[in-house]
Amino acid sequence: MRNLLIINILLFSTSFSFSNNLNDTVLSVYDLLLLKSKIDNDEKLLVELNNKIIFYQNQINQNKISINVYNKTLEIYSDLYADLLKNIYLILLQLKSPKLFVFSADSFSKAFYRYNYLQLLLNYLKKLNQFIKLTQQKLINESLSYENYVKSLDIYIKNYQTQKVDIENNLIIALNSANILQQKANDIRIIINNDYNTYLMLNDYFLKLPYSLNSNNSEKIEKKFNAPLYNSVVISSFGTHNHPYLKNITVVNDGIDLYSKTDTLVKSIADAKVIAIVNLPNYGHSVILKHDNYYSVYSNLNLIYVSQNQQILNGFVIGSVSKSTSKYSYPCLNLQIWYNTEKLNPVEYLNLN
């Protein structure tokens, strides 16, 4: 179940990979896949360790049974050996010698019988002694095996516990990273959708303006505009490009982003009329100016110093740069230039030098 959760999140977030400088505790998708592979391998190792533990537990149980059997056997034969040795000793003690025991019989058959009986007892005593020694050796071997199995079992149990803790820790890291990646993937998709929604809003807005040309036959007069900021530096270009701090992520910029400090004053790029003050997705507070057949859109503003329908001159202060937006975590001015519903590259129309 937990692996399925990770897989689903990874499939959801496959196209996104994040720079480590965002959050050092967040793994990239590639690292997360490697971690999941390690978790799978560790879980297989965990199964093998568990099988080893079961094997050694069974061996220990068998050793215990064998040790008990050998102990009982050794106890029985030790008693037999002691009794037999005692009987032989009494016979020899009473008759002083085996020869006297044999030849004191009143007939040859009894003497032969006594001789065989004595030999049988001595042979049985000898074999019984050998069997006792063999049983003692088996008991020693089983005891050594038991000790070795107990030590091995202890090692495998410790390895199992350590491995289990590692898996649980890695799983927590994987799940946390996967959840964060999923959230970031959602955030990026929201940003991309908002960019598109902003484009649709502006496009629809310009189409509905009564004083837009909205004619394909109108002649486009090339213009040059002044920069909206002093010493303007472009930090995000027009069109499709890599995201400034997310790896392998491409975004579409309908304008350009100009480096700025918070509360830097933003100036109109030419004589204009303020036709709208709007809040655009991803870009925050924005002002739209009309310059004849051209439109300029200033986004990521904090304070706004103009009002709708106000006529302003070139260089007039229209607002100040905000600290951040939902799209960027740093202050910058986003500037777009449109010709009717056609997006233009502002760099080609601005005097940035």
Q: Look at residue 22 in the predicted model and tell me its pLDDT.
A: 35
What's the confidence (pLDDT) of residue 18?
A: 39
pLDDT at 191 over 90: no
Span 42-70, pLDDT tens digits: 888 888 888 888 888 888 899 899 889 98
pLDDT at 108: 63
Answer with the residue of higher pLDDT: 205 or 93.
205
Q: What are 229's two structure tokens?
A: 């900021």
Between CA 187 and CA 166 the distance in angstroms is 31
Beta carbons within 8 Å of 294's beta carbon, 6+ residues apart: 223, 225, 270, 337, 338, 339, 344, 349
Q: What integer pLDDT is reported at residue 297 of this predicted model?
A: 94
Identify the structural domains of the chain with CATH numbers, from first to last.
Answer: 2-185 (1.10.287.620), 223-351 (2.70.70.10)
Query: What is the DSSP secondary structure assignment for residue 330, as one 8-state letter?
Result: S
Tell me what pLDDT residue 53 has: 87
Least confident of 22-26, 180-184, 325-329: 22-26
On the 0-12 / 13-18 / 19+ scale of CB atoms within 10 A, 25 is exposed
Mean pLDDT of all residues in 106-119: 68
Q: What's the pLDDT score for residue 10?
A: 46
Give me the pLDDT at residue 329, please: 67
Contact 319, 302 (CB under 8 A): yes
**Confidence band for 287, pLDDT divided at 50, 70 and 90:** very high
DSSP-derived secondary structure for 164-217: HHHHHHHHHHHHHHHHHHHHHHHHHHHHHHHHHHHHHHHHHHHHH-TT----TT
- What confidence score (pLDDT) does residue 318 get? 93
For residue 93, pLDDT beyond 70: no
Highest mean pLDDT: which range of 245-249, 259-263, 333-337:
333-337
* Predicted pLDDT at 216: 46
Q: What is the mean pLDDT of residues 163-172?
A: 80
**Alpha-carbon distances, residue 144 vs 62, 73, 141, 166, 337 (angstroms):** 13, 18, 5, 33, 88
Q: What is the pLDDT of residue 337?
A: 92
> Coil, strand, or helix at residue 132?
helix
Q: Six-digit token pair at 203? A: 């496009």
Predicted TM-score of the model (pTM): 0.52
Confidence of residue 175 (pLDDT cuts 50, 70, 90): confident
The four Cα atoms 190, 195, 201, 202 give a dihedral, to 10 degrees, of: 170
Does the pLDDT value for residue 23 go beyond 50? no
The CA distance from 17 to 188, in Å, is 11
